[in-house]
Chain A
Amino acid sequence: SQAAKVKACMVLDTGGIDDHSFNAGSWAGMQSATSIADVQYLPSTSSADFQPNIKKFIDLKCQLIVGVGFSISSAIVAAGKANPGVKFAVVDDSAMDCNADYSVCNAVANVKGLTFGTDQAAFQAGYLAAGYSKSGIVATYGGAPYPTVTIFMDGFAKGVAYYNSAKHKSVKVLGWDPKNPSSGTFVGDFANMNKAGQISSNFEQQGADVIMPVAGGLEAATLSQSLKSGKSVVVGVDTDAVASYPQYSSVILTTVQKGLGAAIKSVIFDVALNRFNNKAYVGTLSNNGVSIAPLHDFASKVSSRLQLDTKIVGSGVRSGKISLSN
């Protein structure tokens, strides 16, 4: 029989377990490791819950405590320093321990930061979307203007721009302009389906035929709108939308995947096999930490030329030939 299982615990961000985004994705990673780990999570209703939730898990003798979201990072770092015997990881933050004026930041021995260059995959998706669009207009919107949200929108818009310069086209992006990052189209929260559906419909009226919602569960509203109107297709985010919403597979072009699950699973394995390290993990196209999902239903609808080009763009980003920084 096997050795005793690792006890791995996760403190969620305020979005909750059903956010169809980083909480859900991270938790899926935890669950995929149940062969070697006992897993458990606690939700947070606000940032005030972070510290007590972490403390609870320390009391419950968790060996690995994973925190989701950048805002839990400092609480995890503090807990890490106070509890050297416990391993910690943070999703979406590099989890550095900084001095008072944030001029010097160091990693903590038992804390691992997991971050994701989602803009790389979104870039690829933007390229694909621009190539797929027949109207020459694509769109993206967010739930609320958080950096973890806008990074998707940014990559997407840059991917479109790259397509334009490469193919001498002028595909437009609605909802986000990398040059003017203070404005953009947002629902205002991650709960208002009605508004999200309406925003999608507004995009369609402006002629957009590819829409990327970066709004957790509100994705469903856009999928539903697309399916009903038949005027657009959707680029999902985080986890393969075809898996989460099989009923909408006919309008899911692809998904900008964030490999949360795999990253977390590997941290759990590291702890189980006693090879945990605090080296920051950055998910990129190169290490498959971020990627675009298979085209599923659209494999036959997207020209093989575009499919190939998209792959080439991916390798360009991977190798650094294509830079996203401007």
Chain B
Amino acid sequence: MKKMSVARKRTLRFLIILGALNLLALAKFGFGNHSTLSTTYGLVLGHEWIILHSVVVKSSTGSTFFALLGLLGCGLGFLFFKLNKTSLAGISIASISILFSFICWAATGKFIPLTGLLQGGLMLAVPLIFGSMSGLLCERSGVINIAIEGQLLAGAFASAVVASVTHKTMLGLIIAPIAGAAVSVLLATFAIKFGVDQVILGFVLNVLVYGLTDFLYKRLLIPYQSTWNQAPSFSQISIPILGKIPIIGPIFFDQTIIVYLMYAIVAAISYGLFRTKWGLRTRSVGEHPEAADSVGIDVNKLRFRNVVIAGLVAGLGGAYFTIGSVGSFGKEMTAGSGFIALAALIFGKWTPKGAILAALLFGFADNLQGTLSIIGVSVPSEFMLMVPYIATIIAVSGLIGRVRAPAADGVFYSRGESH
């Protein structure tokens, strides 16, 4: 007990808090819940094969069950903690249980479309995932990317304009990555060639893209809306068989082409970064550029290329806002997604898996907030809207604490000038 490290203390503290919360949930949502009504969880969303249409649980029974499950999770976590193993599984069970215990209580007599809740979370996470993948590619190569927001916005703008003018969504899909890459070229040129501080640079590039799109939007897109800003958009394609799998199908396999592209990109990056020559080299220039240079890797060329690829990815993500959903462009429509994506990347400790999970977590929190407000939870709407942001702060400060970025992230490399 006495010789406990900071990280272990944090884990223990977290377990204790979770335990207390689950006890509270048990008391308030479980035993304190005298409602005789039930909560219905809908499992069917679209045209998937139906095994079970919905699950109906008595509100108090559900809450009690989940609170107990949560306590079990805490116990499990504590057991593993004592055995000096990771308590992550226990913590996850406990956290999710609290949530469900709460939902059972809050949604007394209401309907929770479980599949839809998850699918919506994914949909809200899509641009965040694209954005965080862009950040990942840059930062793993040693270039800080604060300009994700700008890359997304540029992609959204360009795809809407091109798809409007040509009436072809495909052309919009092609131009979006190029627009994102254009922002990247600026980022790469100034950061890698001229050694400008990358945090400042990224921030300024966002301002630049905001300014450019606002300006052109007002000057061209509003006055000549029918030609410049009335883009067609993609519709969902259900993948045969896969799309029919209950729960999974509608969540993952009834999406637009942009989402399918996202799966491919995520897979390619996760694989490429850790299994290929390119990935090994990319990580090496992000960790220790001198070492990479000393074995004959052209550090700055690789960085430049990766930053541009990152722009392509984020640009494509930008298309999700326009031709991926409504078609037309709206002023500053990315609404800060790039910054949330950045937070997801950091929260995910610069790993593809972590970043995606963080993005999904945010998307889920955001959508849960929406769903709860629809079924009518009597919390002022403003506070409900804060939920995803508060959740992020709690997660960042309670769970992960100090982070370790790639060692050379943000460090300008010029041969012979360092050390």
Contacts and interface: CB of A to CB of B under 8 A. Distances in A.
Contacts, number: 112
Contact of B380 (A182, A193, A197): A182
Contacts of B384: 183
B374 A175 contact: yes
Interface in B335-370: 335, 337, 366-367, 370
Given A139-B374, A195-B366, A202-B374, A183 B222 contact: no
B5 interface: no
Interface in A170-201: 174-175, 177, 180, 182-186, 188-189, 191-195, 197-199, 201
Contacts of A185: 370, 373-374, 381
B197 interface: no
A228 B335 contact: no
B180 to A, nearest CB: 17
A207 B337 CA distance: 29
Contact of A205 (B42, B327, B331): B42
A182 B337 CA distance: 27
Nearest to A142: B381
Interface string B369-389: 011011111111110110000
Interface residues of B, number: 46
Chain A binding surface, main DSSP class: mixed
Given A17-B222, A205-B113, A217 B330 contact: yes
A247 interface: yes
Contacts of A220: 326-328, 330
B373 A194 contact: no
A22 B222 CA distance: 16
B217 to A, nearest CB: 7
Nearest to A216: B330
A180 B381 CA distance: 11
A74 interface: no
B300 interface: no
Contact of B378 (A180, A188, A206): A180
Contact of A191 (B45, B335, B371, B375): B335
B293 interface: no
B335 A192 contact: yes
Interface residues of A, number: 37
Contact of B45 (A184, A188, A205): A205
Contacts of A188: 385
A189 B373 contact: no
Contact of B116 (A191, A202, A228): A202
B378 A193 contact: no
A145 B113 contact: no
B233 interface: yes
Contacts of B385: 186, 188
Interface of B: 42, 45, 111, 113, 116-117, 120, 123-124, 126-127, 217-218, 222, 230, 233, 235-236, 320-321, 325-328, 330-333, 335, 337, 366-367, 370-371, 373-382, 384-385
**7 shortest A-B CB distances, which residue pairs?**
A205-B113, A205-B116, A192-B335, A185-B373, A182-B380, A224-B326, A188-B385
Interface of A: 16-18, 139, 145, 174-175, 177, 180, 182-186, 188-189, 191-195, 197-199, 201-203, 205-207, 217, 220-221, 223-224, 228, 247
Given A18-B330, A194-B337, A202-B374, 4 more contacts: A175-B374, A177-B376, A202-B120, A221-B325
